[in-house]
Structure 1
Amino acid sequence: MTDPIGDPAVRAFVDALNAGDRTAFRAALTPDATMSDDGTERDLGEWTEREIFSSHGHLEVESATGDGREFVANYANSTWGAMRTRWAFTVRDGKVARFETGQA
């Protein structure tokens, strides 16, 4: 089966998120990376700690477009349970410079 996430930077982001690996996750991001959740700008460090790492976040990609820089995924964590989400990534110099997520 072909990996729907064709971009190596996005693949590193997803793998680190699913592994709960904070160090690998930070390494997948540019130093000035930004993000938004449901259209609202968020503090990346606070959001990822709350929504991913402290709550055991995990995502399973359902379908991808844009060379794997945009996808719909089933996302689950211990705070919110499971939900269908959309993700879009801006990649710069082989790292994620920005991601936008929200309910699909």
Structure 2
Amino acid sequence: MTIANDRLSDPTVRALVAAINAGDRTAFLALLTPDATMSDDGTERDLLGWVDREIFSSNGHLDVQSESADGRALVADYRNDTWGEMRTAWRFTVTGDHITHFATGQA
């Protein structure tokens, strides 16, 4: 069963999921530290190139199925126009109210 976005525990992660689902690149980037990093399936990626390709130019959308680690680890059905839908895991490192790193990959 999908967890409604407003029920996600961590406010920063909640805002990031909302930005993804709204297609709001500006809001998404505002939640990241200037030196934020990310990895996909264990490989470090160019953050801006990845989010533009995998989220914002391909209509990415997250339906969160479960959360753990105080809301900083999610399992979600992720879909975009490039890859279709897949079960994914997301882990976020949050400092203050900004994300310094996130990791995603198939769950």
**TM-score normalised over the length of structure 1:** 0.95
1:40 equivalent to 2:40? Answer: no
Aligned to 1:83: 86
Give distance in 1, aligned partners of 2:35 and 2:11: 19
1:52 equivalent to 2:55? Answer: yes
Aligned to 2:97: 94
Unpaired segments of 5 or more residues in structure 1? Answer: none
Give runs of aligned pairs for residues 18-29 of structure 1, distance below 5 A: 18-29=21-32
Aligned to 1:69: 72
Give distance in 1, aligned partners of 2:53 and 2:65: 23
Aligned partner of residue 86 in structure 1, secondary structure: strand
Give distance in 2, aligned partners of 1:73 and 1:64: 9
Give distance in 2, aligned partners of 1:27 and 1:96: 9
The size of the alignment, in residue pairs, is 103
Unpaired segments of 5 or more residues in structure 2? Answer: none
- Residue 12 of structure 1 deviates from its aligned partner by 1.0
Structure 2 counterpart of 1:100, one-letter code: A
Structure 1 counterpart of 2:83, one-letter code: W
Structure 1 counterpart of 2:89, one-letter code: R
Structure 1: which 4+ aligned runs deviate by more than 2 Å?
Answer: none
Give runs of aligned pairs for residues 9-20 of structure 1, distance below 5 A: 9-20=12-23
